[in-house]
Amino acid sequence: MPPIYDKKNILVSGGAGFIGSHLCERLLADGARVICVDNLISSSLNNIEFLLKNPDFEFIRQDISANFDLEQYPELERFKIKFQGIQEIYHLACPMNPKAFEQTRMQTLYANSLGMKNMLDLALRYRAKFLFASTSTVYGPRPQDNHLIKESEPGCVDALSPRACYDEGKRYAETFCSTYQAVHGLDVKIARIFRTYGPRERLFSGEMIPDFILNALDNKDIEIFGDETFSSSLCYVTDIVDGIVKLMGWEGEIGPVNLGSDLDLPILDVVQNILEMTGSTSRIVFQPTLMFVTPLGLPDLTKAKEKLGWMPLVRLDEGLKRIIDYTMAHKNLLIAAFNASVRAPAAPTAKIPPVPGSQV
């Protein structure tokens, strides 16, 4: 007979990141107890600072690539994990900083292999429902005919490319999920998330929208990493979080689900909208393409719409206004936090923990 409890215990890895912090906020609002696990390599405590005083929230600084036991943390005693366990695990942890990608390649490799194993083993220990935040990059480059990509498409990724530890790593992590589901009967969900924007994105990391807005407010040059033809889909973060939560709540097998926007937006038009909304006199400057700032395919959302009843609701102009208002209200704090992160010493490369030969 399962234990009786008044609130779910939910773990969010990468919970201090951009999407993760919004997810933690949503889960708390829904009445859950939330354990946020993050090593802060590409995230920030500033994203969750407003949650730290909530008695149903706890932050644990931990690298998921190393073995850890939730029951050994005294600060988690109020969650009564020994009695109640963990009901749901949202696994979002993976370094993502386009401009600093080369500095975190080993951590990315470990997150998509050792980290995935550790998180799935945790789910297996507590028989928790598990959701993996995968990515649209598992499909490879944008199709030449620009058709909407269905979940059934196998994609094409170069396993030896400079960014393979992320792209192929995410594909391997999905294989981890499907294998644990088949062998151990775990309830596993895979969300393939397309390009997302919103408050709390990292500044000056190549994430486009936050840098566009900050530079527009300061009347500085706005850099587009590409040419006039660069376009992308953009989905507001609260829509993505809503899709993730709905996917976790799906009963039974569903397979991977695309979450994102299927509207192709010229980035030049997005910048023009920002200039108009801020009254900025910034110039637009085109720069060489970054490894992670490239045109991506657009999602076919049929499964999300028909199975989950989900579709993006926040229009671009509304989403941009929210970020502009957020940036104007927190500008000094955002700059100070960025400067502090630049001055902080680089995170050491994680050591590979011992793995018994009988496992994976």
- HEC secondary structure over 104-158: HHHHHHHHHHHHHHHHHHHHHHHCCEEEEEEEHHHHCCCCCCCCCECCCCCCCCC
Mean pLDDT for the stretch of residues 137-143? 90
Partners of 188 in the β-ladder: 130
What pLDDT is attached to residue 163?
Answer: 83
Residue 38 counted as domain residue: yes
Residue 283 counted as domain residue: no
Higher-scoring residue by pLDDT: 25, 160? 25
Label the pairing between strands 9-13 and 88-91.
Answer: parallel
Query: Quick one: tokens of 265?
Result: 């937006």
Residues in the chain: 360
Round the average pLDDT of the chain to a whole number and report it: 89
Range with the lowest mean pLDDT among 117-126, 186-195, 218-227, 307-316? Answer: 218-227
> Rounded to an integer, what distance in angstroms lies between the CA atom of residue 292 and that of residue 35?
30
What pLDDT is attached to residue 188?
Answer: 98
Interval 46-71: pLDDT, tens: 999 999 999 999 999 999 999 999 99
Percent of all residues in the chain with a pLDDT value above 70, rounded to a whole number? 88
Mean pLDDT for the stretch of residues 136-157? 91
Interval 163-208: pLDDT, tens: 888 889 999 999 999 999 999 999 999 999 999 999 998 776 667 8
Residue 186 counted as domain residue: yes
Phi and psi (nearest 5°) for 4? -95, 130
Residue 340 counted as domain residue: no
Residue 23 counted as domain residue: yes
Query: Hey, which bits of 56-213 come out as E strands?
Result: 57-61, 88-91, 129-135, 188-193, 196-197
Highest mean pLDDT among 102-111, 207-216, 235-244: 235-244
> Rounded to an integer, what distance in angstroms lies between the CA atom of residue 297 and that of residue 2?
43
Residue 250 counted as domain residue: yes
Catalytic (active-site) positions? 166
| Termini Cα distance of the chain | 31
Q: What's the whole-model pTM score?
A: 0.91
240 has pLDDT over 90: yes
Number of domains in the chain: 1
Containing structural domain, residue 162 = 9-196+234-261+294-313
CATH code of the domain in which 49 resides: 3.40.50.720
Query: Quick one: tokens of 147?
Result: 């058709």
348 has pLDDT over 90: no
Mean pLDDT for the stretch of residues 329-350? 56
Phi and psi (nearest 5°) for 10? -125, 130
Residue 226 counted as domain residue: no
Residue 267 counted as domain residue: no
Instruction: Determine how many CB atoms are found less than 10 A away from the CB of residue 321.
Output: 13
